[in-house]
A and B are shown apart, each in its own frame.
Chain A
Amino acid sequence: MNPTELFNQRASDEATSRTRRLLAPDPWASAGLATHLKDHGALEHHPTSERWRMGMLGEIERAGLVGHGGAAFPTGQKLRAILDHRRKPFVIANGTEGEPASMKDRVLLARAPHLVFDGAALAASLVGADEIFIVVHHDVRESVDLALAERREARLDRVRFRVMTAADGFVAGEASAVVNWVGRGVPIPLGKAPRMTERGLGGRPTLVHNVETLAHLALVARHGAEWFREVGTAEEPGTMLVTLAGSVVSPGVFEVAIGTRMSDVLDLAGGPSAPIQALLIGGYFGTWVPAPVALSAPFSTAGLGVGLGAGLIVALSTTGCGVRETARLVRYLASQSAGQCGPCSFGLPAIAEQLEFLAHGMPVRFDDLTRWVTEIEGRGACGHPDGVARHIRSALDVFGDEVSEHLEGRCSASERRASLTIPMGEPL
């Protein structure tokens, strides 16, 4: 970005009251330690002071910070759950990002790795851990290694950091799968989970936080709860990294104040590149929302009526076919089952097959399809079948008219090839 562009971007930030907390305006700015310390200052720790720890926990709870990995679980509550246990805990920073269309964890680790390290070190101080595993997508392993080398040279941390490359695959990012990967090199969810906060890595209490959550934590620790709540809504404070994908002019990762109007959020990516019929919100476990409803709504769980998940927003143009897109995504998700539980490993491929028949206007067992979708829910060791079921239900609802067309053997879309990102396979 040249100086003029940067100036223009700053001016437009002011005009749109855009908030940048995690990501600097200049995407080419140094992610190095010197810049980090200049921008944010050093982070204070007093791990031996009970007063400091309790004060900080209270601040985190007042901030209302929730997890950014998908489940939006309150961060303070998770930290406190660890404190209930006597054994020395581990901290895992989860940057696996198995969601195929999501890029936000990678962009964060490439552009602001030290915020993630700071947040992880702070979490470790709060819960009394002295060992932290940073699990990152292989795309950003090098920048994370560089950041850690800088910290070691500066003797910044009292805790021991270990960087690990994450396993590939959609379910590899699930919290228990990450614990399983770090501990045994097996990137699939653990069944019958005692809570990770009770018995995780090596049988010890384990705090698994998404990397973006930790970066926010590092800022809450510096600026406090009130500062954190200055943007966002009262119920959903702060900012969120979102990945804008699909039919937008410039897909990418952007930091958004929660509660920003959805049409303004899409404008960050240059706006829709074609008229939009629906948006997939949250991730591939997410929910389709019709465009007329979504575009005028605020970007928040309350505004959209759906979870924001890991912050993925995919725009589907009116020329595309929602039924084909869904069939293709569900086939991909079926392929990503860890294959441990029957309802998931048999149910998902059968459901995907019926959706493919539907997509191609072939005879389909529609009643079986809808019954199987209901039946698989809640019947896996992890939430994989539930997430797929949620996605399909919203698709059958939002693309209801198109489903009726397909049941009659027709398709009203002009663009017949599915276009949403999956890591493999041909367009359906």
Chain B
Amino acid sequence: MKSPLVLRIDRIRCDGRGTCAEVLPELIELDHWGYPIIANGSVPRDLERLAIAAVELCPKMALELKAAEEGARSVSDRTDEPL
């Protein structure tokens, strides 16, 4: 079985344009300042097409779809480098 896809945001690139939340309100909401909050990164099969559209429409190219394992690893990337 194909592993589920996960949405990831490059927080440095993201400029809070909000396109992603317009295309994919089912998975993405915006905070008080217009920056996206993804409640649960994994994308249900029936939303995959919209998720791809959100990635393609992001004017800052800050949104990515990755296979679940890679997405999970990128979270630990951040925590294993101490200050």
**A binding-site residues for B, Cβ under 8 Å:** 67, 69-73, 78, 98-99, 173-176, 191-196, 208, 210, 283, 285, 310, 340-343, 346-347, 350, 368, 372, 375, 378-383, 387
B15 at the interface (CB under 8 A from A): yes
Q: Is the CB of A194 within 8 A of B77?
A: yes
The majority secondary structure among interface residues of chain A is: loop
Secondary structure call for the B interface: loop
Contact B81 A380 (CB under 8 A): no
B77 and A195 contact, CB distance less than 8 A: yes
Given the known interface contacts A340-B11, A341-B11, the answer about A346 and B83 at a Cβ–Cβ threshold of 8 Å is: no
Assuming A342-B11, A375-B37, A379-B37, is B82 touching A193 (CB within 8 A)? no
> A342 touching B80 by the CB < 8 A rule?
no
Assembly CA distance A23 to B4 (angstroms): 52
CB of B2 within 8 Å of the partner chain = no
* Bound CA span A372–B37, Å: 12
B20 CB, min distance to chain A CBs, angstroms: 13
B81, A196: Cβ atoms closer than 8 Å: yes
Please measure, in the bound complex, the distance between the C-alpha atom of A195 and the C-alpha atom of B75, giving whole angstroms. Answer: 11
B31 A375 Cβ-Cβ under 8 A: yes
Interface residues on B, range: 20 to 34
A-B contact count (CB 8 A): 88
How far does the Cβ of B57 sit from chain A's closest Cβ, in whole Å?
18
Q: Interface readout for B5-31 with A: 1 if CB under 8 Å, 0 if not?
A: 000011111111000000000000001
Evaluate contact between B81 and A71: CB separation under 8 angstroms: yes
The docked-state distance in angstroms from the alpha carbon of A155 to that of B4 is 56
Minimum distance in angstroms from B55 CB to a CB of chain A: 15
B residues 27-76 near A (Cβ < 8 Å) are: 31-35, 37, 74-75
Does B3 sit within 8 A of A, measured CB to CB?
no
Chain A residues, CB < 8 A from B16? 342
Q: In the bound complex, how far is the Cα of B80 from the Cα of A194, in angstroms?
A: 11
B12 A192 Cβ-Cβ under 8 A: yes
